[in-house]
Amino acid sequence: KAGVTQTPRYLIKTRGQQVTLSCSPISGHRSVSWYQQTPGQGLQFLFEYFSETQRNKGNFPGRFSGRQFSNSRSEMNVSTLELGDSALYLCASTHDILYNEQFFGPGTRLTVL
Amino acid sequence: QKEVEQNSGPLSVPEGAIASLNCTYSDRGSQSFFWYRQYSGKSPELIMFIYSNGDKEDGRFTAQLNKASQYVSLLIRDSQPSDSATYLCAVKGGGADGLTFGKGTHLIIQP
């Protein structure tokens, strides 16, 4: 069974731009969570989607948003990029009905210049 | 605010010995507990999860949970150089909560 896929793997943007990251969960998984990982703050929860609905949200500004499609694929968007948004963005997939273990994708490395 | 604390290390253990990694958490309502391994430049990989008090063994790995003390640990028996990585402890509350992660313990297995 294929794992979680994320695209793109690497991205370079400049301040003020916006970016959209994509995540395809493991087949059959209905929940997708997004995390930001930085050397200083570690892994921090952004938001979780289940059946196209945001179920929970972490403590990030409104510039960070996401959505989930009917096939469970998810996107997250960051608007008006800041230098501090440079990070590894990780998507995690969960079956959610049978079990709630989260499996991570390879991540998208975002660099904001 | 939910917090998960880990000793950042580095924790240096000789090859073949037992590596012991510890984690404490602040939220008494936490229900699920996970250990992830993360190699440098890679994403976290789930290696153990535990939901009930006591021990859970899987191969060379044993997770231990003590909810009364709000303490989770991971033991790695017969440590190998390939076990050298950062180990992240993650905790989930009841309901639709995201995972709260510790900052991780850097483990070094010395050949």
pLDDT of residue B98: 87
pLDDT digits (tens, 9 = 90+) for A88-110: 999 999 987 767 899 999 999 99
pLDDT digits (tens, 9 = 90+) for A35-81: 999 999 999 999 999 999 999 999 999 999 999 999 999 999 999 99
Give the amino acid at B60. Answer: R
Give the model's confidence band at B95: pLDDT under 50 very low, under 70 low, under 90 confident, else very high.
Answer: low
Task: Give, in degrees to the nearest 5, the angle at Cα B5 between B3 and B7.
Answer: 165
Q: Alpha helices, DSSP H only, in chain B?
A: none
Strand partners for A93: A32, A103
| Rounded distance between C-alpha atoms, residue A45 and residue A59, angstroms | 8
pLDDT of residue B96: 62
How many CA within 13 A on the CB side of residue A34?
31
DSSP state of A27: T
Please report residues of B whose CB lies closer than 8 A to that of A43.
44, 88, 90, 99, 101
Kindly determine whether residue A43 and residue B98, on different chains, have CB atoms separated by under 8 Å. no
Rg of chain A over Cα atoms, rounded to whole angstroms, equals 13
Kindly determine whether residue A45 and residue B100, on different chains, have CB atoms separated by under 8 Å. yes
Q: Among A84, A44, A47, which Cα is nearest to A62's? A: A47
Q: How far is A3 from chain B (nearest CA, A)?
A: 11
User: What is the percentage of chain B residues whose pLDDT exceeds 70?
Assistant: 97
| Rounded distance between C-alpha atoms, residue B30 and residue A75, angstroms | 28
Could you tell me which chain B residue has the CA closest to the CA of A92? B44
Instruction: Identify whether the C-beta of residue B24 lies closer than 8 Å to the C-beta of residue B73.
Output: no
Q: Does A44 touch chain B (CB under 8 A)?
A: yes
pLDDT of residue A96: 77
Q: Which of B42, B99, B103 sits opposite A102 (nearest CB)?
A: B99
Q: Does A97 touch chain B (CB under 8 A)?
A: no
Q: Among B74, B44, B71, which Cα is nearest to B57's? A: B74
Please report residues of A whose CB lies closer than 8 A to that of B42.
106
Q: What's the average model confidence in pLDDT over B7-25?
A: 97
Strand partners for B49: B34
pLDDT of residue A98: 66
- B11 contacts: CB under 8 Å, gap ≥ 6: B19, B21, B105, B106, B107, B108
- B59 contacts: CB under 8 Å, gap ≥ 6: none
Kindly determine whether residue B102 and residue A106, on different chains, have CB atoms separated by under 8 Å. no
The rounded mean pLDDT for chain B is: 95
